[in-house]
């Protein structure tokens, strides 16, 4: 028994204590997968099965890797290589490249679109920026799916924008040629080069295998063919591999992610242990009813069960239709005002949508209602001018003897920059600036006793480098992609209409399935309440087919309270790809 086993349920404990051999943990949303990963490593270290510096823990974002390192530190484990795929590959390239090539590594392209524009100019074409972005995405897809330019031309025989397929291929080649001439590599080349190095240099592969004896991979449903190949090279002929993932949260297929690696893991690795985590510690039963109904029968779908709350606590999620997008935005804003007035912390409220363009109407409605909001994926907290200015002045204050206490100094400096006791009544830029300064003050108020101004500013600079942004006291606006891995007590999922979710260009079965998984990700971000909304608009949109798939047994009609809106009108002719039946009104 070790401290790493404390507070685990039976299935989590099974995963944590299964330290050897290939292991696949099928972990549903909110079932504690990061807890399982970190406690499994800590238990391995505690029992002597693992040596920390011989453990490789791989994930997909720098933030997730940082959280993993932080949790391991809290469990008393230091020295584990918890990084992204790219950071791991880059570290290995930086280490071995000078010896192998007798030179420093090539520089990494900092702006693929700009380099593409130069390559396009070199072959006498001038695509617009949007087309260049799409070509950049296609280059990334080609590389992560391990296709040559020739294979790409056969598998994607279509043009982009005004570029014919031949000109697209010409641009791919021109981009690669220019990159080589400038002695640069791009983000995907980092993985390709690392894989190539391990394949071509047996002594390098041997060194890596000796260094890393135990490998764990998070979010395994998002692994691409290239990442999977690199993982195989890291693993070699050994079997100490643990992968964790949820096929229902595969939302990056367009970028090369392939959930089959997760679903077929037990077949690929003979004797693999498979463990299912289906007890959800995030959401109330009503939310999980909706999530389970949406994913019923899909490949790899897990059936989530709430850890707390019986039928008496089952708050039924709502679905509301509105006359148009403006009415929908104002209806959602009105509901958020009610939540805030009832005592809900704005940080526990999120509005989620499929596309960035949907955020403007929501942001405007919230601002008009006096509710501050932050768009996830916008400027980072420590890049905000108000925060940078405050940090600069706080840093300058550390060189002079303080006549007041640490906290008073922070408060005085922020007041000179515009922080008042009460926030501006309206939303907009002034409210955003106030919220940023208030967040800095809150960090100071939460600092441990005895913290000095110097230590506080050092901590802020360290957080800035680690991209560890504090949560502002604002409502969060986010796309479904950006929301993955996050959670809020109260979620408003907007735009559940055909053409919005699923998005209009999703036409194939696989594309619609990806949209369904996006909706599932949005739904499972909610802890206590879930509101689904859609707007008919001037073109008489139909409600999303996903509402049909969820069914009326798990949803109740909301109150649209807008002219022309009928909360019970969820019929509208949407057809299910499974049964082809019209939606029934929700009673």
Binding positions: 27-34
* Residue 6: partners with Cβ closer than 8 Å, 6 or more residues away: none
Peptide bond before 403: cis, by omega within 30 degrees of 0? no
Strand 475-479 to 349-353 pairing: parallel
Does residue 220 contact residue 59 with C-beta atoms inside 8 Å? no
Report which of 328, 287, 284, 316 is spatially closest to residue 556, judged by C-alpha positions: 316
Does residue 309 contact residue 335 with C-beta atoms inside 8 Å? no
Q: d(Cα 305, Cα 295) in Å, to the nearest integer?
A: 14
Q: d(Cα 500, Cα 506) in Å, to the nearest integer?
A: 10
Q: How far is CA 574 from the centre of its chain?
A: 30
Q: d(Cα 517, Cα 257) in Å, to the nearest integer?
A: 13
Q: Tokens 């008489």 map to which residue?
A: 540
* Alpha-helix runs per DSSP H in 417-555: 429-445, 453-465, 480-483, 509-523, 545-550
Does residue 459 contact residue 494 with C-beta atoms inside 8 Å? no
Q: d(Cα 562, Cα 383) in Å, to the nearest integer?
A: 39
**Helices and strands (H, E) in the chain, number of each type:** 23, 17
Can you read off the two tokens belonging to residue 410?
A: 């922070």
Distances (CA, A) of 498 to 118, 407, 553: 39, 52, 21
Residues in the chain: 587
Instruction: Return the half-sphere exposure (C-beta side, CA atoms, 13 A cut-off) of residue 133.
Output: 3
Q: d(Cα 513, Cα 196) in Å, to the nearest integer?
A: 34
How many other β-carbons are positioned within 10 Å of the β-carbon of residue 259? 22
Can you read off the two tokens belonging to residue 217?
A: 């991979």
Q: d(Cα 541, Cα 434) in Å, to the nearest integer?
A: 39
Angle formed by the axes of helices 385-397 and 429-445, to 10°? Answer: 40
10 Å CB burial of residue 180 (0-12, 13-18, 19+) is exposed
Can you read off the two tokens belonging to residue 293?
A: 């109904």
The DSSP code for 485 is T
List the beta strands (DSSP E) in 169-309. 184-185, 214-217, 241-245, 273-277, 279-280, 305-306
Q: Tokens 């619609």 map to which residue?
A: 512
Q: d(Cα 63, Cα 482) in Å, to the nearest integer?
A: 12
> Which residue positions form the known binding site for ATP?
27-34
């Amino acid at each position: 028994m070790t401290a790493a086993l404390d507070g685990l349920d039976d299935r989590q404990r099974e995963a944590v204590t299964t330290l050897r051999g290939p292991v696949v943990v099928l972990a549903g949303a909110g079932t504690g997968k990061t807890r399982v990963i970190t406690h499994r490593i800590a238990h391995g270290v505690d029992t002597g099965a693992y040596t920390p510096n011989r453990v490789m823990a791989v994930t997909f974002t720098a933030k997730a890797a940082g959280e993993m390192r932080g949790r391991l530190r809290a469990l008393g484990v230091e020295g584990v290589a918890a990084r992204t795929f790219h950071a791991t590959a880059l570290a290995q390239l930086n280490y071995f490249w000078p010896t192998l090539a007798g030179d420093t590594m090539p520089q990494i392209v900092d702006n693929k679109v700009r380099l593409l524009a130069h390559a396009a100019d070199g072959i006498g074409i001038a695509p617009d920026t949007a087309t260049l972005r799409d070509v950049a995405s296609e280059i990334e897809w080609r590389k992560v799916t391990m296709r040559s330019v020739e294979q790409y031309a056969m598998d994607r025989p279509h043009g982009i924008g005004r570029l014919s397929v031949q000109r697209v291929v010409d641009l791919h080649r021109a981009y690669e040629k220019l990159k080589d001439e400038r002695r640069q590599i791009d983000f995907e080349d980092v993985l390709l080069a690392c894989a190539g190095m391990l394949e071509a240099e047996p002594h390098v592969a041997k060194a890596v295998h000796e260094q890393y004896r135990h490998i764990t991979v998070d979010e395994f449903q998002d692994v691409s063919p290239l990442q999977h190949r690199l993982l195989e090279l890291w693993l070699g002929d050994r079997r100490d591999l643990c992968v964790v993932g949820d096929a229902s949260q595969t939302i990056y297929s367009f970028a090369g992610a392939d959930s089959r690696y997760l679903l077929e893991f037990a077949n690929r690795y003979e004797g693999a242990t498979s463990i299912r985590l289906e007890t959800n510690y995030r959401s109330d039963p009503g939310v999980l009813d909706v999530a389970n109904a949406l994913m019923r029968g899909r490949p790899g779908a897990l059936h989530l069960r709430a850890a707390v709350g019986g039928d008496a606590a089952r708050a039924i999620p709502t679905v509301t239709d509105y006359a148009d997008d403006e009415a929908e935005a104002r209806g959602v804003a009105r509901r958020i005002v009610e939540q805030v007035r009832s005592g809900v912390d704005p940080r526990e409220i999120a509005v989620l949508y499929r596309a960035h363009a949907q955020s403007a109407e929501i942001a405007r409605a919230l601002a008009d209602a006096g509710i501050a909001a932050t768009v996830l994926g916008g400027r980072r907290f420590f890049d905000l001018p108000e925060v940078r200015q405050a940090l600069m002045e706080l840093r300058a204050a550390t060189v002079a003897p303080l006549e007041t206490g640490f906290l008073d100094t922070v408060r005085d400096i922020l007041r000179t920059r515009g922080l008042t006791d009460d926030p501006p009544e309206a939303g907009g830029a002034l409210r955003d600036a106030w919220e940023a300064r208030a967040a800095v003050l809150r960090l100071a108020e939460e600092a441990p006793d005895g913290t000095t101004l110097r230590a506080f500013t050092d901590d802020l600079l360290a957080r800035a480098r680690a991209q560890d942004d504090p949560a502002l006291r604002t409502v969060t606006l986010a796309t479904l992609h950006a929301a993955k891995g996050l959670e809020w007590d109260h979620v408003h999922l907007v735009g559940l209409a055909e053409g919005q979710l699923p998005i209009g260009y999703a036409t194939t079965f696989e594309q619609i399935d990806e949209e369904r998984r996006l909706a599932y990700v949005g739904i499972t971000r909610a802890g206590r309440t879930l509101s689904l909304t859609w707007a008919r608009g001037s073109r008489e949109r139909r409600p999303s087919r996903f509402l049909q798939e969820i069914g009326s047994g798990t949803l109740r009609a909301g109150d649209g309270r807008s002219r022309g809106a009928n909360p019970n009108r969820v019929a509208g002719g949407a057809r299910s790809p499974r049964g082809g039946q019209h939606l029934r009104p929700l009673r």
